Structure 1
Amino acid sequence: MTIEIGLMLTGMLAIGFFAQWLAWRVKLPAILFLLLAGIVLGPIGHVLDPDKLLGPLLFPVVSLSVALILFEGSLTLRFSELSGIGHVVRGLVSYGAVVALLLLAAAAHYLAGLGWDLSLLFGALTCVTGPTVIMPMLRTLRPNARIANTLRWEGIVIDPLGALFAVLIYEAIVSRHQGHAVGVFLGTVLGGVICGGVAALALAFLLRRQFIPEYLQNYGTLAIVLLSFTLSNTIAHDSGLLTVTIMGIALGNLRDVHVDDILDFKEHLTVLLVSMLFILLAARLSWPLPPGTLWAGIAIFLVAQFVVRPITVLVSSIGSGMGWRDRALISWVAPRGIVAASVSALFALRLSHLGVAGSEVLVPLVFILIIGTVVLQSATARPLARWLKVAEPDPRGVLIFGSDAVARAIGKALSEAGFHILLADDDWDGIRRARMEGLSTFYGNPASAHADRHLVLAGIGQMLGLSTHRERNSLACLHYQQEFGREKVYRLRNLAPQETNHRNALNDRLLVPALFEEGMTHARFAEWLIRGWRIKSTGLTATFDWPHFIEQYGSTSILMFGIDEKGVLRVAAERRELEPRPGWTVIALVPPEASA
């Protein structure tokens, strides 16, 4: 039995990894492949039976996993950022969310026959999008910046707010079915709010006073979150989810509390939990579904796609001045994700134990809506964006990590050549200078969790690591290899090959191609700029080809980039020598004595 459990768990771990990897390769939300894997293993293949595998541990495992997922999601909500997210987003996450909740509840009540209590819970669960489903879709969709920002911010903000709605409605349902008075429900809510607030303040105190060493902060946070969840459930029954949600929101908005490293750890942990959890949850589905559930789920999906979302966007965008084309695409894109799947499954487990009628169809209805929205919108959103003429062209832009004189000079040259350039760095002085020179900027480390949520990569297809911080430069390049591909990421050396020894050299597998000629370093490039070298852009013709360029500007000129006849940017790098041809535009670093 022990071997069987071990084999099952490790098999789920491997399948979860494959589903996440496949999602990354095809740029689709991972939840789609995780749910499909669970359905194949469970109701179709009868290979995995979660109830038999985990027995009495199933509910605690699901509960603790969902608690961490809700905490991680709520930790990203920053009230200070709400004022700058725009009229449409504020509408979508406030009164627009309420409209969506009520319309989805009505659909569940009239199409699936759920009682109004479960219908409202269904509406609260399914009015939520989220970053984990929106961001992969935006990478494929590539809409204009206005649409991308609206959808991205909606997912970030409504994720924790929707979870809070769902938890409150769930608490009301449980309180009513247990015969409790309104005072008991209010006591449960108050207990969850107080426990969450106290836990957040306690953790913040420990972090501020550095009573927890840095290497134990992630471990300590994990322990305190789960301890708060279980203690809150003991003090006020079923208040734990509200506690961790309030705790995350409070901790994320307290001043002088640095949670970036904690959030980064929680995001990695959430990937693992989501991968295992969703396979388990999908495997618990019974097949065939309860009578009428499949058709009711499809009907609700169609109503959600073609009625609820357009009405929500229309109501939220009144008075915003947003064009109808932008509204149309935003109305089409609203995939459901992690909160809907995980929380609905946990609630269904609890409600079925209480004997709440209809709880057995809650998860199938939610899963049908998730799969339907992800599949339909992933397949059709890009063609629709092109038809509406709101899609960005093929990503020709360049992300540059760095903002010193070298990064600004290269960025300015590429910008003048017609490419969208975005400089990202956490050096405020360099970012300020870049802005004064008219370059687009992002203040922050482009490989950080903050950048994953806030850095807009619409129109960006390549990355140049030009930072003076050697290790961070390499890490950023590795990070964006996953985003753009191995052939689209380059770095400028910080050390020449002869200056690097085996003690400080990175493993060859961690290196990306070095920019420009062999031996070119950041320091050398900066020194040459100071000595008067300049970046020159010139179009080549049949009568003025690359040899003529070298003859005019000197054999010491260094080829940096080439722009071919189709406007594609080609990068000169070690072991990837360019051969400029007539019709190209070349960008080169030329010596000060070269003729104009």
Structure 2
Amino acid sequence: MLTLDLALILSGILALGIGAQWLAWYLKQPSILFLLLIGILIGPILGFFNPDETMGDLLFPFISLGVAVILFEGSLTLEFHEVKSHGRVVQMLVSVGVLVTITIVSIAAYFLFEMDPKIAILFGALVCVTGPTVIVPILRSVRPNKNISNILRWEGIIIDPIGAIAVVLVYEYIISGGSGDHALLVFGKILLVSILIGMIGAYLLAQLFKRHLIPEYLRNVFALAYVLLLFSISNHIEHESGLLTVTILGVALANWPKFEKDDLLDFKESLSLLLISVLFIVLAARLNLDSLLSIGIPSLILLAVVMFVARPASVWASSVGSKLKFNEKLMLSWIGPRGIVAAAISSLFAIKLAEYDLAGTEYLVPLVFVIIIGTVLIQSLGAKPIGNLLKVREASDNGVLIIGSNPVALKIAQSLRDSGFDVVMAHNNYTNISRARMEGVKTYFGNPVSDHADRNLDLIGFGHLFAMSMDRELNTLCEINYRHAFGKKNIYRLRYNDDNSKKNERQERNDYWQSAWLFGEGINYGKLASMIANNAKIKITNITDNYSYEQYREDNKNYIALYMIDKNGSLKVFSSETGENIPSGTKIIALVHDPENKKNIPNDNPANKGQKKLKTLADKEKKIDD
């Protein structure tokens, strides 16, 4: 019966964790809030789950191995060239900004809670990390301008492993003794063992993968077993060196020349998601509400210091000499929620440091949880009004993700780019994607509905999808995949065949998911290709009180209206669901044929020379799709 109860408890926690992740996805909010809420609810509030009693001696190894995998997965994303490629402000935030944050928070914690200086520094290191899992949902909700979005997103991605390294180094220094020649010797031994095992381990794994000595189907699980084995061996050789070892291992592999880590990252991200979902509920269930309440007013003062002193100081110190405006710096100062690394590592270190009898160790977990809950809740709720007040929010998500790489898709992408909108063309046709990149259009080469796309396609600020591939199935998959992110009303499909009289069963099933026709019911690839091949131009026309949309249509007999820009600068797409009422102050962007070339166009005849060229390129794309 006891085994059955334990199995039921553990499977229930797993179900609740994945349910919390789904709820976070559905509501577009940070998952950490729901995980912590569930843990606190079933643990200290209702008393359904006591991790220490239920898991017994397995609790500590479970947390340790879970944190090891999370640290390895995070450090596997730290590519040094990425740090250099995202601007000086990002580089400063993940270096100077980290030091400023640690210094200010450590001093505040030391005086407010009379912590041991080493514990205060460890706490400062724990709460210097933001992280993409808490930043991205806020950015998608708030829609700050490009400068702010890019800085915050890349800061969150890069600072995650850097903060983890800082935390682990401080921890290793503490357990080494923290002062005196003996302590430095122990710390040096920990560093030496971690670096040696981490680097040698990275070399061996890279060679095994590059020489294809591990079959594809075994690579992910082999890497998992390898990481956990190195973690345990390192701890056995030198006490508590394992976390630093797996962190160094991950950073080394991330920057190892030609090491194929994409599949490994996919697997590790899925595993980390599973571990985080369970780990956070377990950690939250261990919280002592009395200790959480006992820190009271000083914890709120510390939260205020983190939000209104440390974060602004970090931003201002990191943006000296940059082109950021004053209001942009204020917005960057507001958004800095803490997340996964802080909660996971603080709970583990609180258990490990209990035997060292250092003042303030008991405050680590409750204080970290106060900082996490406070920053995520307050900054999430306040980000929109603060953004409106500072006038740094975009009017709407105007970016466009175009699926496909044919010449018509490229022409539309160039037009959107020239109109000032973010646009990305995503497809797996290397030749066409390369051509688009040469034309100055942002591109993504690969399958738009893959795990790799989920990780590498930056869609913050994007709100529209144009399914323009010649492959109907790919269009349908993309419509389904991105429907939740963009909303059905912002997803459009280009028609490329007028003959709808004969449909097979698969096409009828696809029609169930089909969105509005791009550019209108009667517009298809053939018409667009014909006009483009015969030198039709993209033209912008202002609709005013003196020049209505009705008059515009009378004056332009041979045109295809593509999209419009309203007086607020928002993108509105012409589709099969567009009404006839176009208000004054709107700019219409249309593909218009020059009347001098009209004689060269057989209006709806797709058999002209120019269109045949475009059709050939499109057919090549379709062959690759097939």
Fold shared per TM-score above 0.5: yes
Cα separation, partners in 2 of 1:358 and 1:562, compared to 1, 3 Å: closer
Cα separation, partners in 2 of 1:474 and 1:171, compared to 1, 3 Å: farther
Aligned match of 2:346 in 334, 344, 351? 344
2:229 corresponds to which residue? 227
Do 2:114 and 2:359's aligned partners in 1 also have CA atoms closer than 8 Å? no
Cα separation, partners in 2 of 1:191 and 1:500, compared to 1, 3 Å: farther
- 1:173 maps to a residue whose letter is I
d(CA) in 2 for partners of 1:89 and 1:326? 14
Do 1:540 and 1:586's aligned partners in 2 also have CA atoms closer than 8 Å? no
Aligned match of 2:209 in 207, 212, 217? 207
Which sits farther off after the overlay, 116-125 or 490-499? 490-499
Do 1:104 and 1:123's aligned partners in 2 also have CA atoms closer than 8 Å? yes
Question: How many percent of aligned residue pairs carry the same amino acid?
Answer: 45
1:553 corresponds to which residue? 557
1:251 corresponds to which residue? 253
1:296 equivalent in alignment to 2:298: yes
Deviations 1:26-68 (A, max 9, x none): 3321112211221122111212211122111111111111111
Deviation at 1:352, TM superposition (A): 2.0
d(CA) in 2 for partners of 1:262 and 1:472? 25
Q: 1:383-402 alignment to 2 at 5 Å?
A: 383-402=385-404
Cα separation, partners in 2 of 1:376 and 1:68, compared to 1, 3 Å: same
1:580 corresponds to which residue? 580
Cα separation, partners in 2 of 1:403 and 1:334, compared to 1, 3 Å: same
Cα separation, partners in 2 of 1:450 and 1:142, compared to 1, 3 Å: farther
1:110 corresponds to which residue? 111
Deviations 1:486-531 (A, max 9, x none): 3322344688878975689977777656646779876886577547
1:381 corresponds to which residue? 383
Cα separation, partners in 2 of 1:275 and 1:500, compared to 1, 3 Å: farther
Do 2:463 and 2:490's aligned partners in 1 also have CA atoms closer than 8 Å? yes
1:100 equivalent in alignment to 2:101: yes
Deviations 1:78-106 (A, max 9, x none): 11122222222221111221121121111
Cα separation, partners in 2 of 1:157 and 1:577, compared to 1, 3 Å: closer
Do 1:40 and 1:283's aligned partners in 2 also have CA atoms closer than 8 Å? yes
- 1:260 maps to a residue whose letter is D
2:622 corresponds to which residue? none
1:10 corresponds to which residue? 11
- 2:268 maps to a residue whose letter is K
Cα separation, partners in 2 of 1:168 and 1:494, compared to 1, 3 Å: farther
- 2:484 maps to a residue whose letter is Q
2:620 corresponds to which residue? none
- 2:235 maps to a residue whose letter is N
2:31 corresponds to which residue? 30
d(CA) in 1 for partners of 2:401 and 2:89? 28
d(CA) in 2 for partners of 1:263 and 1:473? 26
- 2:162 maps to a residue whose letter is L
Cα separation, partners in 2 of 1:6 and 1:414, compared to 1, 3 Å: same
The gaps in structure 2 that reach 5 residues or longer are 605-626
- 2:26 maps to a residue whose letter is R
d(CA) in 1 for partners of 2:217 and 2:416? 41
Do 1:561 and 1:569's aligned partners in 2 also have CA atoms closer than 8 Å? yes
d(CA) in 2 for partners of 1:77 and 1:332? 25
Cα separation, partners in 2 of 1:150 and 1:453, compared to 1, 3 Å: farther
Do 2:38 and 2:281's aligned partners in 1 also have CA atoms closer than 8 Å? yes
The gaps in structure 1 that reach 5 residues or longer are none
Deviation at 1:110, TM superposition (A): 0.8
Deviations 1:312-367 (A, max 9, x none): 22222222243222211111211111100101111112122454443222110000
Deviations 1:549-596 (A, max 9, x none): 499737xx87765777887655566xx54443354748578893459x
1:217 equivalent in alignment to 2:219: yes
Cα separation, partners in 2 of 1:333 and 1:453, compared to 1, 3 Å: farther
2:623 corresponds to which residue? none
Cα separation, partners in 2 of 1:345 and 1:429, compared to 1, 3 Å: same
RMSD of Structure 2 on Structure 1 (CA) = 3.6
Cα separation, partners in 2 of 1:543 and 1:97, compared to 1, 3 Å: closer
- 2:139 maps to a residue whose letter is L
Do 1:144 and 1:458's aligned partners in 2 also have CA atoms closer than 8 Å? no
Deviation at 1:268, TM superposition (A): 2.1
d(CA) in 2 for partners of 1:492 and 1:408? 13
Deviation at 1:396, TM superposition (A): 2.7
Deviations 1:137-161 (A, max 9, x none): 1111211111111111211111101
Cα separation, partners in 2 of 1:291 and 1:414, compared to 1, 3 Å: closer
d(CA) in 2 for partners of 1:588 and 1:448? 33
| TM-score, length basis structure 2 | 0.83
1:186 equivalent in alignment to 2:215: no
Do 1:118 and 1:358's aligned partners in 2 also have CA atoms closer than 8 Å? yes
Which sits farther off after the overlay, 35-44 or 16-25? 16-25
- 1:87 maps to a residue whose letter is R
Do 1:497 and 1:519's aligned partners in 2 also have CA atoms closer than 8 Å? no
Q: 1:390-539 alignment to 2 at 5 Å?
A: 390-414=392-416, 419-425=421-427, 429-431=431-433, 433-434=435-436, 437=439, 440-445=441-446, 447=449, 452=454, 455-468=457-470, 473-492=475-494, 515=518, 526=529, 529-530=532-533
2:140 corresponds to which residue? 139
Deviation at 1:377, TM superposition (A): 0.8
SS at match of 1:241: helix
SS at match of 2:580: coil
d(CA) in 1 for partners of 2:343 and 2:173? 20
- 1:283 maps to a residue whose letter is A
Do 1:562 and 1:578's aligned partners in 2 also have CA atoms closer than 8 Å? no
d(CA) in 2 for partners of 1:218 and 1:552? 59
Cα separation, partners in 2 of 1:264 and 1:290, compared to 1, 3 Å: closer
Which sits farther off after the overlay, 392-401 or 100-109? 392-401
Which sits farther off after the overlay, 4-13 or 184-193? 4-13
SS at match of 2:190: helix
d(CA) in 1 for partners of 2:328 and 2:321? 14
SS at match of 1:270: helix
d(CA) in 2 for partners of 1:535 and 1:5? 66
d(CA) in 2 for partners of 1:588 and 1:286? 65
Cα separation, partners in 2 of 1:533 and 1:593, compared to 1, 3 Å: farther
2:129 corresponds to which residue? 128
SS at match of 1:273: helix
Cα separation, partners in 2 of 1:260 and 1:524, compared to 1, 3 Å: farther
d(CA) in 2 for partners of 1:216 and 1:207? 11
d(CA) in 2 for partners of 1:524 and 1:197? 59
- 1:553 maps to a residue whose letter is K
- 1:232 maps to a residue whose letter is S
Do 2:425 and 2:442's aligned partners in 1 also have CA atoms closer than 8 Å? yes
SS at match of 1:553: coil
Cα separation, partners in 2 of 1:210 and 1:515, compared to 1, 3 Å: farther
1:239 equivalent in alignment to 2:247: no
Which sits farther off after the overlay, 240-249 or 424-433? 424-433
d(CA) in 2 for partners of 1:433 and 1:378? 40
Cα separation, partners in 2 of 1:295 and 1:566, compared to 1, 3 Å: closer
